[in-house]
Amino acid sequence: MGEFGLIRRLTEELKIENPTTMKGVGDDCAVLSPTEGTQTLVTTDLLMEGVHFDLMYVPLKHLGYKAVMVNLSDIYAMNGTPRQITVSLAISKKFTVEDIEQLYDGMKLACEKHHVDIVGGDTTSSLTGLAISITAVGEALPQDIVYRNGAKETDLICVSGNLGASYMGLQLLEREKAVYLSQVDKSDKNTANNSSTRQLVNSSTINDFQPDFSGYEYLLERQLKPEARRDIIEALAKANIRPTSMMDISDGLSSELMHICSQSKVGCRVYEDRIPLDYQTAAMAEEMNMNVTTCALNGGEDYELLFTVPLSQNDAVNELEDVKVIGYITKESLGKVLICRDGSEFELKAQGWNPLQ
């Protein structure tokens, strides 16, 4: 089929949704025409097999969907509107054309949901597995763009949704993977012992293996199929609330808070009992003997929005659905502090995802 044949097969049914897309896939460059008066937002994410995802338990369609969502989330975190993406893939020989079509199906589903055009990209071969690089292009009026450096003393700290669920979903997947691999290992040992009967029994066990996800479906959805929070951006605009700073929570709440505080030159006080948690997150953490607050603070991949608003907008924020005030901004000299349920105080530390570790 070749590179161009694959590209044609993946993109032949793409339809342009945005008037700002003058030319999409099919030429040397995409041609975009930003709306008059707006500024362009650009973000890129690179996902590597074995680092960012494990294909033993991540379906390719879900992976494609998630790869797009993590980029759109960055545009929303700037209070912008995503319009186009480019998709670049490095593909190893283990993948069939049908595999890559599944990946693209997930990407197209995410784009259709958020009215985004796929306008180009690249494909190449890989010797180390699958790599996905997506660049998202968005737009916003200059006065609407929200940066990380605008938080002011007494501002309220707000988060959307709930935290820690994606991380606990990952722990659940890793646990069931370990169970499966332990059975494979037993089968290998039996093979080495030349016990044909035992080998047959263990092979049957492996083939019949079913992971135990009962009662924790929400956690899996949060890990495998996250949603960029366009609805929160729309709700903020409808309520005439413009955040003073904002980020999406990809590396963990504590890490993102420290970014905002560092760039805004402020401190913060966050209350443990106000951090929003889902019941399944708490139950899974207890089952695994993990501290649920630590998971919420440092787990990452929630793709919820963390933002600050002036104290004067307290009532308006409290009227928003699925948004919770978890603390407030202080002077930089007061540090970055977590107030525990018992009233004790601890310095916040960034213990979330580090892509270079």
pLDDT score recorded for residue 26: 66
- In whole angstroms, what is the distance from residue 173 CA to residue 175 CA? 5
pLDDT in tens, 187-208: 665 555 554 443 434 444 445 6
Which two tokens mark 196?
A: 């044909």
pLDDT in tens, 269-285: 999 999 999 999 999 99
Percent of the chain beyond pLDDT 90?
76
Task: Give 201's Cβ-side CA count (13 Å radius).
Answer: 7
pLDDT score recorded for residue 293: 95
Non-local (6+) Cβ contacts of 228 within 8 A are 69, 70, 72, 73, 76, 114, 248, 303
Length of the chain measured in residues? 357
pLDDT score recorded for residue 191: 53
Three-class SS string for the chain?
CHHHHHHHHHHCCCCCCCCCEEECECECCCEECCCCCCEEEEEEEEEEECCCECCCCCCHHHHHHHHHHHHHHHHHHCCCEEEEEEEEEEECCCCCHHHHHHHHHHHHHHHHHHCCEEEEEEEEECCCCCEEEEEEEEEECCCCCCCCCCCCCCCEEEEECCCCHHHHHHHHHHHHHHHHHHHHHHHHHHHHCCCHHHHHHHHHHHHCCCCCCCCCHHHHHHHHCCCCCHHHHHHHHHCCCCCCEEEECCCCHHHHHHHHHHHHCCEEEEEHHHCCCCHHHHHHHHHCCCCHHHHHHHCCCCCCEEEEECHHHHHHHHCCCCEEEEEEEECHHHCEEEECCCCCEEECCCCCCCCCC
pLDDT score recorded for residue 32: 77
Mean confidence (pLDDT) of the chain:
89
State phi, psi for 89 to the nearest 5 degrees.
-125, 140
State phi, psi for 328 to the nearest 5 degrees.
-150, 165
pLDDT score recorded for residue 204: 46
Of 3.30.1490.20, 3.30.70.20, 3.90.650.10, 3.40.640.10, the CATH number of 156-169+221-347 is 3.90.650.10
In the chain, where the domains are located: 2-140, 156-169+221-347, 173-219
146 and 245 Cβ atoms separated by less than 8 Å: yes
| Residue 105 scores a pLDDT above 50 | yes
Rg (CA), the chain: 23
CATH architecture of the domain 2-140 equals: 2-Layer Sandwich (3.30)
The DSSP bridge pattern shows strands 267-271 and 336-339 to be: parallel
Q: What is the mean pLDDT of residues 219-239?
A: 97
pLDDT in tens, 116-148: 999 999 999 999 899 999 999 999 999 999 999
